[in-house]
Structure 1
Amino acid sequence: MPISQIFTYFMVMLGPIKILAPFVKISRGMDTLSARMLAVKGFFFASLAGVAAATLGKNTLANWGVGLPSLLIAAGLVLLLVALKSVLAQYEQPPAAPPGDSPQPSAKMFALSPLAFPIIITPYGIAAFILIDAAVPPEQNIEIYKVFLEVMVLNLVAMLFARPIIKYFSTVLIILGAVLGVLQVALAVQMILLAFRMLGVLP
Structure 2
Amino acid sequence: MGSRALRKFTAFELLIITMMAALGIAVKSVVVPLAQMITGPLYIPGGVVAGGFYMLWIVLGYGLVNKAGTATLISIIQALLVIAVGFFGNQGAVSLITYITPGVFVDILYLIIRGGPNSPMRAFAGGVVANIAGTLMVSLLLFRLPLIPLLLSLTAASLSGGFGGLIAYKLIIQLEKFSIINNGKL
The normalised TM-score by structure 1 is 0.32
**Structure index of larger Rg:** 1
The normalised TM-score by structure 2 is 0.34
